[in-house]
Structure 1
Amino acid sequence: MGNSFEDFSWVGSQENFVDQPNVLQLNHIIVGRYGGNSFAGQDKNEDGCFVCLNEKEDWEFVILLDAHNTSESAKLILDQFALKKPKIKILLSLQTNHETFKKLEDEILNVFQCEEFLSLCRKVTGETACLIVARKDKYVWWFSVGDCILYLFHQELAALGQYQLNQRQFYEWIGQVNTFDQEVPCYSVGIRELRQGENCLFLTTDGLIECPNEPYSNPITIYNALNNLNDDESNILSMFINIKNNNVRDSTTVVSWTVTISKEATRPSNQ
């Protein structure tokens, strides 16, 4: 799993970033990692993420993972998607957006419902929340198990108080405890049209929003932090420093990028 501009993969057991906020720029995507404070009792990081992009074909594909007990479940998912990467790239290169998202969902369900994968899940210690996001052209698609969060920041939506795309779901995981090992798997899928102009997609694990004193529990505070005059890299680093100063224990992983859409977005008929 290489760290080239096209592909990036990391799990917290490789490097935990405890007490050490880290922000990395991969082309136009920013990956932020903070393992939490050792003063608060933190000594490991069980998050993980995977980033794949193709600027020429105008798409990004991101996986964000927040495991607990151990990072084994997060690593298991990253390993599975490393094998599926060529297939996913083919699907994201399809001409029709609708076909891309439909086939992507089918492929992900194939991975998670495969008997071999289910068998491996039963052998790991712990389980993980999993958020998968694909942006292609002027659409963003997501597949969510558990409580990782996807925000879409755009000034037109912010004016109406809309920031968050997916609903956090508690008691839902993949791994030792596994939604896909139930009679009926539980997960969420959605598609959203991006607005004309600048759209910021922001994925985060819950360390950011469940920090003591809750500096970022309200999405408007994240929106405002990203709209500082600094570049996104500096803004995300200053958010990490803020949660560090608030003595956060839980780890936080962020993946964020801005997409400028030139096409017009849907408007009401009377405008």
Structure 2
Amino acid sequence: MNFSWTGRDHLYIDEPAVFSIGPVAAGIFGGSSKAGQYKNEDGCLIYIGEDWELGMILDAHKSAESAELAVREFSKAEQEVRAILTMPAGTALKELPLFLADFFTHPDFLAACREVEGETACLIAVRKDKYLFWFSIGDCVLHLYHPELAALGEYQQNHRSFYEWVGQVNTFELPVPCISTGVKELRKGSNHIFLATDGLLECPELPYNKPEAIFKEFQNRTIEDGMRILLQQAHDFHIRDSCTHLSWIADISEEGSMPSDLIK
């Protein structure tokens, strides 16, 4: 099961839209024409496996060409990605970062990036078994909600890192590419994963720069209905910037790690 989209496929200006791809909800809003929006430079891609999900979101500027290139080329590697993610988690999550490093530094991909107009932030998140992995270039956001983590104020997993892109200006052209990556052990029970470009987060009239405000919209709602609330707010407040979100629930049956003094 898979899904991919870029702003060239459909703008979604003045048109909040939510799609369900297996357990993953994709929310897209191209921005408000009343605020002057006339283009959508975001993109996203979703792969679903038996015990894993992969989501990619992209936030380009100057043009959508860099996002289109990344989605198109990553789609060509779908079978290789699926083969990695069918491996046991301990192997898959060691192999995946190596694959992604090779993908983004491949000479053909770098050459194609030099030919596009503009550049894109890119965030890839994968849930495999009881682990959440991310590979982050730029300023897209990965949030995670679980009651045990929320009680300690933990939501955001990556950090927004500015002046990093793929495309015409490309972090992978540097002698040392600048990215962030990590792995999180999920807790027992319901783990809510949320990826977002920055459109909704930077609206000063809305509280969504705080992740707890985002997750509040999903309380007692389906993932799809919570997503519709967020995008409707973007529409009602005439946000100009495009908003692209992916969200899903991972139900984990195993206990998470606990400190030794709390183990019974």
Unpaired runs of 5+ residues, structure 1, are 1-5
- Comparing 134-143 and 205-214, the one that deviates more: 205-214
Match of 1:240 among 231, 239, 255: 231
Aligned residue number for residue 256 of structure 1: 247
Per-residue CA deviations over 1:58-101 (Å, capped at 9, x if unaligned) read 10111110111111001111111111111100000012x12111
CA contact (8 A) 1:212 1:246 kept: no
Q: Deviations over 1:42-64 (max 9, x none)?
A: 0111100110001xx31011111
Q: What amino acid is the match of 2:208?
A: Y
Aligned to 1:153: 145
TM-score, length-scaled by structure 1: 0.95
Tell me by how many angstroms 1:215 deviates. Answer: 2.5
Distance 1:208 1:188 in 2: 22
Residues 32-71 of structure 1 correspond to what in structure 2 (within 5 A)? 32-54=27-49, 57-71=50-64
- Which of 94, 107, 113 in structure 2 is aligned with 1:102? 94
TM-score, structure 2 length as denominator?
Answer: 0.97
State which of 60, 64, 71 in structure 2 corresponds to 1:78: 71
SS at the partner of 2:40?
coil
Q: Distance in 2 between matches of 1:207 and 1:115?
A: 32
In structure 2, what is the equivalent of residue 143 of structure 1?
135
Partners in 2 of 1:223 and 1:160 — Cα distance? Answer: 15
Distance 1:81 1:151 in 2: 23
Shift >6 Å, 4+ stretches: none
Find the partner of 1:225 among 196, 209, 217. Answer: 217
The count of residues paired between Structure 1 and Structure 2 equals: 262
Q: Percent identity among equivalent residues?
A: 45
Post-superposition shift, 1:212?
3.4
The aligned residue for residue 3 of structure 1 is none
Which residue of the partner structure matches residue 89 of structure 1?
Answer: 82
Unaligned runs of 5+ in 2: none
Q: C-alpha separation between the residues in 2 aligned to 1:232 and 1:270?
A: 36
Matched, 1:175 2:170: no
For the residues of structure 1 that align with 2:247 and 2:153, how far apart are their CA atoms?
A: 20
